[in-house]
Amino acid sequence: MIQKVISPKTDKLTAVKGMNDVLPPQSAMVEWLESKVRKLMARYAYRNIRTPIVERTPLFVRGLGEVTDIVEKEMYSFEDRLNGDPLTLRPEATAGVVRAALEHTLLYDGGKRLYYIGPMFRHERPQKGRYRQFDQIGAEALGFAGAEIDAEMILMAAALWQEIGLHDVRLELNSLGQPAERLQHRKALIAHFEEHASVLDEDAQRRLYSNPLRILDSKNPKLQAVIESAPKLLDFLGAASLAHFDTLKLILDANGIAYIINPRLVRGMDYYNLTVFEFTTDRLGSQGTVCAGGRYDYLFEQLGGKPAPAVGWALGVDRVLELVKASAMPEFSPKLDAYAIVTEVAALPIVLQTLQALRLAGVSVQMHSSTADGMGSMKSQFKRADTSGARYALIFGSDEISAQQVTIKPLRTTHAVQHVQSLADVADWAITLQSDA
């Protein structure tokens, strides 16, 4: 293990490469998206699940598959300092959700619809749309076998694009069939790649016999021709798998959801079977996958539990927001109702008491506060009030305080007029404010 010595005085305390701070006002965008998602999930009857960020490493090795990019080279793994347990910062959340479902026998009384929002960790080369800590929003429907749930998942994502004003994400669909079908395809695939062994890169050669399906997911441009001509898994599917796929397509057609069948579409984890899908865009270069998912009917067993069918997707918050930013910009930042201008230090107790009453009545108020130079002039406070975007200035001057009043001055409209309000019934103003909001 490599140990770097930190000299506390000279080393700059910067964030870890690929792990970003989200500052206001950008953080308001994240909150905006999250609030859209929470409302949407509620309408589809999905409930929030919160699993730990740290899990035991074998969960991911067994769940995602040993010969996957994530397990081979992207996991942040370490040993628990106290007992040596191998632990990993979650690179994705599906494995953790299934672990939790098993651990708490969540499916004892039927299927469960769940969603999560939170950070994931992968040691990737940082670039736009690809980070080492990134937020995902994901949905998982556990215990349901039919293609109608695959459709519900896709419709839910499509509804989200509509809600947030994204109109140019494409849906790509494929079916990975069942393990027995994949085995037949695998033989044909190995034969095909053996024939073209000379063009395979190092990764592909290593995976030729361990996990040849993964070669299809290679992003190496030199491999695209040999991937293009490889035998298609769809041609190996039996009647039941095809029927599942057909039902899904029928439901999507009935809902006017356009899709492209992409027979090369495989996903980065080994747990998928039958339906897999990706929502993609051309606007993010090679980081074009915005949301991805599929069915994983064997993961429960693989993690040592009673078999249960399941399907889910995850979307990358950064990539989605990147697209939103480039589209019509909605109003993200919460609007401020009022800015409190305070000239008398002696009045602070009554000012804070008044503001507390207003906030409890639902009014958002930013209070002018002193800096090392003091409170500042009335004029400079008004400037602050103006740039704050608040609709009203609440003026707590000496005249007002001695009369037990506050002057309420509209900052944005010409038709509203300035008035004084007695401090005792300042909460009444909150009611008029709500009615003209």
Q: Closer to ligand ATP at the Cβ: 151 or 314?
A: 314
> What are the DSSP E strand ranges found in 132-280?
133-142, 170-175, 260-261, 273-280
Q: Closer to ligand ATP at the Cβ: 131 or 339?
A: 131
Q: How far is the CB of 274 from ligand ATP (least distance, A)?
A: 16
DSSP 67: T
Q: Closer to ligand ATP at the Cβ: 128 or 419?
A: 128
Which one, of 50, 72, 12, 27, lies nearest residue 269 by Cα? 72
Burial of residue 185 (number of CB atoms within 10 Å: 0-12, 13-18, 19+):
buried
Q: How far is the CB of 213 from ligand ATP (least distance, A)?
A: 14
Residues at the site binding ligand ATP, with contacts judged by CB under 6 A: 92, 122, 124, 129-131, 134, 136, 268, 287, 289-292, 314-316, 318-319
Q: Please name every residue paired with 392 in a beta bridge, in sequence order, or none if there are none.
A: 338, 410
Q: Closer to ligand ATP at the Cβ: 121 or 300?
A: 121
Distance between CA atoms of 328 and 168, rounded to whole angstroms? Answer: 13
Q: How far is the CB of 272 from ligand ATP (least distance, A)?
A: 10
Q: How far is the CB of 319 from ligand ATP (least distance, A)?
A: 4
Q: Closer to ligand ATP at the Cβ: 174 or 289?
A: 289
Q: Closer to ligand ATP at the Cβ: 159 or 403?
A: 159
Q: Closer to ligand ATP at the Cβ: 38 or 130?
A: 130
**CB count, 10 Å around CB of 269?**
23
The tokens for 276 are 């897999």
Terminal C-alpha separation, the chain: 59
Task: Name the closest residue to ligand ATP (Cβ).
Answer: 316
Q: Closer to ligand ATP at the Cβ: 120 or 430?
A: 120
Distance between CA atoms of 10 and 37, rounded to whole angstroms? Answer: 43
Q: How far is the CB of 311 from ligand ATP (least distance, A)?
A: 14
Whether residue 25 is preceded by a cis peptide bond, meaning omega within 30 degrees of 0, is yes
Distance between CA atoms of 205 and 212, rounded to whole angstroms? Answer: 9
Q: Closer to ligand ATP at the Cβ: 248 or 321?
A: 321
Q: How far is the CB of 75 from ligand ATP (least distance, A)?
A: 12
Distance between CA atoms of 249 and 227, rounded to whole angstroms? Answer: 25
Q: How far is the CB of 212 from ligand ATP (least distance, A)?
A: 18
Using DSSP, state whether 393 is helix, strand or coil.
strand
Q: How far is the CB of 65 from ligand ATP (least distance, A)?
A: 12
What b/e sequence results for 186-224 when a residue is b if at least 16 CB atoms lie within 10 Å of its CB, and e otherwise? bebbeebbeeeeeebeebbeebbeebbbbbbbbeeeebe
Distance between CA atoms of 63 and 272, rounded to whole angstroms? Answer: 10
Q: Closer to ligand ATP at the Cβ: 129 or 143?
A: 129
Q: Closer to ligand ATP at the Cβ: 60 or 245?
A: 60
Size of the chain, expressed as the number of residues it contains? 437
Q: How far is the CB of 280 from ligand ATP (least distance, A)?
A: 8
Q: At what angle do helices 427-435 and 348-360 cross, to 10 degrees?
A: 40
Distance between CA atoms of 87 and 121, rounded to whole angstroms? Answer: 13
Separation in Å, CA 72 to CA 47, 76, 94, 214, 247: 32, 11, 18, 13, 36
Q: How far is the CB of 269 from ligand ATP (least distance, A)?
A: 7
Q: How far is the CB of 93 from ligand ATP (least distance, A)?
A: 10
